[in-house]
A = this chain, B = another copy of it.
């Protein structure tokens, strides 16, 4: 046991009452009578494990992960068994299970975890989640979540003011992730134009068309990889998606059909081309579809590109379309961009570093979320309660029960202030610029986009010695395509660093480095490039 002092207390007290603490059982914990000391001892042990994990995650000498293949973990490693028993296990075994779960997982807070836009381990955010899970309540009514419901209101108002929306128009709700937030935006847009859809369904509506950005997909004739496909005498990539993944998915869910999502062509840096948007709208109309919704992106997943929001807003205004902006970046430094949006997806679990999940859909038309989604279940939303029931906000949601995702954000906002979030993001942008500078200097790397990064994404190829000097062409591409996956595999097996890769359009597999982890320093960026070189040259 890690903390013999704490546990020792329990051993004594439990022996007195005839139980054996070191082999205590869940049934002896609270609410069992006399279970308080064992409960404190057990949770303290858990916390000691977690504190050790947090501390180790921040050390560069620790591995980012201890990789095992699925079959290895399933077979069971050193007494770590995933199997679910009929009979209870001892609390001692539960602590071992906790340790092993962390041991075989991925340290997303490690300074060298650069794999996802959600990374880092904010200590105050973690404290917020610990409290949230201890409070163990539900966002559906003020009755059971008085404080959290008010915190949500407070956060939404603040976020709306940052968007530049006036106090009396905005509305919103926190929901489980950015894709669901985007789904909400389509849902309320549809209801805004066609409120009858709620009761009567899509059958009474015209065929709707949606628009989002696409990376241009170029047929590639020679590359033979597991994810290419022979169609019409040409080898094609499977179409890689960038921003429209969630839009297509949501269109399918909402009964609109993914093929009615028009993917608007982008320029080389990944920005939607306004003229292309307009011509897509015209095309849709010619096909007797009714355009109603445009999803613009601020910070695309791979390139971190910003669509030209003002030009898109002009088009939306001209054609009376709902303009949604999916914001993957943080908003403190870019807020002026979003005042014309009808709705915004804001994901504090990305650049703001809030623990997963924390995402909000903000809607400029007050009351729309409620009208669109309410079905007034009487067993929850009684109107004859002893308080102002307008705070029973659960019926704005497509969920019934809703996890409390607001407290961690609220607590972090208290601890950082708006300014703290801003400077945290600036740090990430500096890291991106540093990486960009390094890549420019080195001959063994090649940037995917030549311009300075607009945001924290930097995309690049590593060119191994065998490919240097080889002329561009299908053969080089085919070989270059295999470099990133091979290096990534070695990285994971070694556990030294984690970074993502993917192909995009006519570009073969490249690394995407994305900075949102406040733990990452320049030395980690140096290490990343050196490590890629080491692993790539084998």
Contacts and interface: CB of A to CB of B under 8 A. Distances in A.
Contacts of A132: 133
A478 interface: no
As for how many copies of this chain the complex holds, the number is 2
A401 B178 contact: yes
B356 A403 contact: yes
A6 to B, nearest CB: 11
B106 A137 contact: yes
Contacts of A398: 179-180, 183, 249-250, 253
Interface string A245-257: 1101111111111
Given A29-B123, A197-B257, A98 B131 contact: yes
Interface stretch (A235-243, A335-343, A362-370, A430-438): A235-243
A256 B201 contact: yes
A482 to B, nearest CB: 8
A384 B485 contact: yes
Q: How large is the interface on A (under 10, 10 to 19, 20 to 34, 35 or more residues)?
A: 35 or more
A85 B147 contact: no
A105 B391 contact: no
Interface stretch (A113-121, A165-173, A308-316, A525-533): A113-121
A518 interface: yes
Nearest to A204: B257
B176 A105 contact: no
Given A43-B47, A74-B150, A105 B253 contact: no
A127 interface: yes
B518 A415 contact: no
Contacts of A180: 176, 398-399
B88 A226 contact: no
Nearest to A251: B201
Interface in A413-450: 413-420
Contacts of A500: 379
Contacts of A86: 417-419
B69 A388 contact: yes
Given A238-B376, A378-B238, A407-B101, A415 B144 contact: no
A384 B378 CA distance: 51
B485 A106 contact: no
Interface stretch (A9-17, A48-56, A270-278, A463-471): A48-56
Contacts of A62: none
A47 B388 contact: no
A291 interface: no
A496 B116 CA distance: 47
A414 B134 contact: no
A154 interface: yes
Interface stretch (A279-287, A317-325, A487-495): A487-495
B489 A385 contact: yes
A142 interface: yes
A123 B54 contact: no
Nearest to A418: B86
Interface string A133-145: 1111110001111
A334 interface: no
B123 A136 contact: no
A377 to B, nearest CB: 4
Between A51, A146, A150, the greatest number of chain B beta carbons within 10 A of the residue's beta carbon is seen for A146
Interface string A364-402: 000000000101111100111111100100000011111
A248 to B, nearest CB: 5
29 contacts: A26-B122, A26-B420, A30-B519, A36-B55, A40-B51, A43-B54, A54-B134, A65-B146, A70-B150, A83-B154, A85-B413, A85-B418, A88-B417, A89-B414, A105-B135, A105-B137, A106-B144, A108-B136, A118-B401, A121-B134, A176-B399, A177-B400, A177-B401, A177-B403, A179-B398, A198-B257, A252-B375, A254-B255, A378-B504
Given A46-B130, A226-B384, 5 more contacts: A69-B388, A83-B154, A98-B131, A379-B500, A386-B485
